[in-house]
Amino acid sequence: MNNTWTDRWNDRYSSEEFAYGTAPNNFLKEQLEKLNPGSILFPAEGEGRNAVFAAQIGWKVSAFDISAEGKNKALKLAEANNIVIDYQVGELETLNYQAEQFDAIALIYAHFPAAIKSSIHKTLETYLRKDGYIIFEAFSKKHLEYLAINDKVGGPKDIESLFSIEEIQSDFPDYEIIQLEEKEIELNEGLFHNGKGSVIRFVGKKK
């Protein structure tokens, strides 16, 4: 990833206000509350709202992002809630996660650059144990129609960075599909996710 990409996220996370709020994503919250807590990884975790929630309900939390500003905000949020998370800054290939280290991986609006998003998914899933869970919510390719009407809903503006059901099936082939759908939802997450959008939601259990 180039410096422009890193600078963009550092700039977004540098203000005092939380870009996407401090409450967890609704879909993530709903899914985590169904599972017994274990170890969980949050890729592209930004300011930490989802990681902090998971730690509050008993998960052992690891997270990473390319943004040092995101980490700073996440650790402040964790401290304010009297919990601890392991948060690293860097690109995935520079971090030392281990095969089958985690019981769950939560990809919540983890929109990596289009050229590398599938390879990142395939690397990440090697860190998941058998019977572990992927929990995924991100904007679908149809989302561009919603962005054209309301740019406050947020999300990438290029179709290649958005997701399809077929891409998720291809990136995570050896999973029991618990949920996989494209859905219109209403977002109300901080400054940058507001209004109707189209998302892909996926919950899979590793075979």
The Cα 32–Cα 53 span in angstroms is 10
Q: 44 by DSSP, 3-state: which?
A: coil
The Cα 65–Cα 70 span in angstroms is 7
Query: How much is the pLDDT for 2?
Result: 72
Q: 162 by DSSP, 3-state: which?
A: coil
- At 68-108, the pLDDT tens digits run 999 999 999 999 999 999 999 999 999 999 999 999 999 99
The Cα 98–Cα 127 span in angstroms is 6
Q: Which residues of the chain have a pLDDT value below 50?
A: none
Query: How much is the pLDDT for 92?
Result: 95
Q: Where are the alpha helices (DSSP H) in 33-177?
A: 49-56, 68-80, 117-124, 143-149, 165-171
Adjacent-strand bridge partners of 134: 105, 204
Query: How much is the pLDDT for 1?
Result: 67
Query: How much is the pLDDT for 83?
Result: 97
